[in-house]
């Protein structure tokens, strides 16, 4: 992979500051940071994580949580119609 986020992740440090293990990339889906990417040490005891993406502005958070709500609603509707088809 040579996409730009990889370069950014490299700049921030690919290795855990505690155990020097290789960090893994993950995406946050909390209300505070929806869709914001970070790298973390897979070792929970290290409690090591570094953001890749910049902090989100209030507007982006609003849009993202709105989209997530719509996606969840749509998925719920799909599931409901699937259940109805089985009847
Ligand atoms: Zn670690």
Domain boundaries, the chain: 1-55, 57-87
Q: For residue 36, which of 58, 57, 56, 16 has the smallest C-alpha distance?
A: 56
CA of 15 to the centre of ligand 1 (A): 8
**pLDDT band at residue 46 under the 50/70/90 scheme:** very high
- 13's tokens: 């440090």
DSSP 45: G
Q: Mean per-residue pLDDT for 18-27?
A: 93
Confidence band for 11, pLDDT divided at 50, 70 and 90 = low
pLDDT at residue number 12: 56
**10 Cα: distance to centroid of ligand 1 (angstroms):** 16
If you measure from the C-alpha of residue 62 to the centroid of ligand 1, how many angstroms do you get, rounded to a whole number?
33
Highest mean pLDDT among 2-6, 15-19, 30-34, 75-79: 75-79
Q: How confident is the model at residue 31 (pLDDT cuts 50, 70, 90)?
A: confident
């Amino acid at each position: 992979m040579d996409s730009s986020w990889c370069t950014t992740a490299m700049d921030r440090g690919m290795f855990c500051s505690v155990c020097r293990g290789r960090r893994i990339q993950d995406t946050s889906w909390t209300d505070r940071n929806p869709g914001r990417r970070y790298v973390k040490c897979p070792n929970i005891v290290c409690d090591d994580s570094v953001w890749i993406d910049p902090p989100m502005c209030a507007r982006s958070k609003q849009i993202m949580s709105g989209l997530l709500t719509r996606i969840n609603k749509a998925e719920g509707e799909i599931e409901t119609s699937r259940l109805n088809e089985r009847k």
